Amino acid sequence: MLSVDSLCEIKDARWPMRLAFLGCGRVVEKHSRTLRGFGSFIQCSYASRDPQRAETFRARFAGARAHRSYEAALQSDQVDVVFVCTPPRDHLPWVLAALEQGKDVIVEKPPFLRADDVEQVRASANAAGRFVFVAENYYYR
């Protein structure tokens, strides 16, 4: 299981990790509470279709910044990792857009609607030299 101690052992990682959530719903609340436990190792920022909602999440979870749109988060040089927490029908385009911007990506489950989407993402991640992870909380159970 990932812990603060295991984060310290990751070689060549940039700290703090600057993570931007795309979406500000219930699952982001849960992830934000968990990530607070990592202290200064992870700086969270929030992007929403509603800039005020992003600011509300930033303030509520002591985030580093609020982005006025998903696009703004992807274009920010203050973001290393994008966590796609939009509805599943929107996962594929946002994952591909994040990869195009040179970001590593975490995508909430279910990650994609079609099996072929996985191959498209794999090819895009390889071409960009980036990583894509699925937020699967039952992997070790």
Provide the residue-wise pLDDT of the chain in tens; the chain has 141 residues: 345 454 455 445 667 999 999 999 999 999 999 998 888 899 999 999 999 999 999 999 999 999 999 999 999 999 999 999 999 999 999 999 999 999 999 999 999 999 999 999 999 999 999 999 999 766 555
Long-range contacts of 84-92 (CB under 8 A, 24+ apart): 84/22, 84/23, 84/108, 85/21, 85/22, 85/23, 85/25, 85/27, 85/28, 85/31, 86/22, 86/23, 88/112, 88/113, 89/113, 92/117, 92/120, 92/121
Return the active site residues: 109
Helix (H, G, I), strand (E, B) or coil at 7: helix
pTM of this structure: 0.88
Helix (H, G, I), strand (E, B) or coil at 98: helix
